[in-house]
Amino acid sequence: MTNKKKTEGKGVVYILTNPSFPEYVKIGYADDLQKRLKELNRSECIPYAFRVFAIYEVNERLQDLALHNMIDSINPTLRAIETFDGKKRKKEFYAMTPDDAYAILQTIATVSGTVGRLHKLSPEGHEIIDEKTAEDVEKTVTYTEDSLLAKGDKETVQLYKELKKEIEKLGNVIVEPKKLYIAFKSPKNFADVEIQKHNLKIFINMSKGSLVDPDGIAQDVSDIGHWGNGDYRVYLSEESKIAEIMKLITQSYHVNGSKENE
């Protein structure tokens, strides 16, 4: 079933992706999604076109503001915000995987009993070519800690440095910047740190059910698409929580590390 046939005559909440900035998804509402896509893809400022990752059909018109406020209330650090001429501008872009965004709509659809209105769409035609081309280009790019740290504010950069200092105390730790996160290895990935504007998103490479987490601070993400390795995710936004999170990271270090770590 084509994108056009699915969206004809109905307003939809949409999730759009673009190979030009794979770390973000665009979430919004449109009465006419095909018209909205034409408007977005008319620009010559981006190398690749937007594609529809998923849609959620609705019977009532929605205001983008209401939808975005709902997502912001779940996690206010995901929204892309820029300062232009001294004024902050919030955009429809969110730093999350398409599957994470889809999970939000899936929860809404499940609770409201409208799962039949939710559709995930596969790439077609030039979309497949665009994604493959972007993937090939990315393989030639070298990433650094500094380039990834540029995503965070001053406090987040300092927080990362303090966390890194504690992780390196474990010994034999390799720090390897990737496209979307910084991997900590010894020799396998035991923790992956994604730099966000106001906090650190940390993936702990432990399989579901194996992490000892008496305080329940880690989230099970085994059924959610994500960039880092492992089935657990934690957020770090203040230095006082580092010791608590290090107890979890240390477990992964011993599971994924070499015999030299024992």
Please report, in tens digits, the pLDDT of each residue of the chain (262 residues total). 344 444 444 689 999 998 888 878 999 899 999 998 888 888 766 778 899 999 999 887 776 667 777 777 666 666 665 544 555 555 678 878 888 889 888 988 898 899 999 999 887 776 677 666 656 555 656 789 999 999 899 999 999 999 999 999 999 999 999 878 899 999 889 999 999 889 999 999 998 899 999 999 999 887 665 555 788 999 999 999 999 999 999 999 999 875 444 4
Contact (Cβ atoms closer than 8 angstroms) between residue 218 and residue 211? yes
Question: Residue type for 140, please?
Answer: T
Last residue within a domain, chosen from 76, 108, 138: 138
Contact (Cβ atoms closer than 8 angstroms) between residue 68 and residue 79? yes
Last residue within a domain, chosen from 122, 138, 154: 138
* Closest alpha carbon to 78 in 151, 163, 150: 151
Report the number of distinct structural domains present in the chain: 2
Could you give the CA distance from residue 49 to residue 126 in angstroms, rounded to a whole number?
A: 9
Six-digit token string for 178: 């990737």
pTM: 0.55
Last residue within a domain, chosen from 103, 138, 173: 138
Angle of helix 242-256 relative to helix 154-168, nearest 10 degrees, comes to: 50
User: What end-to-end distance do the CA atoms of the chain give, in Å?
Assistant: 54
- Which structural domain, as residue segments, surrounds residue 248? 145-261
Residues 97 and 198 in one domain: no
Radius of gyration of the chain (CA): 20
Residues 131 and 159 in one domain: no
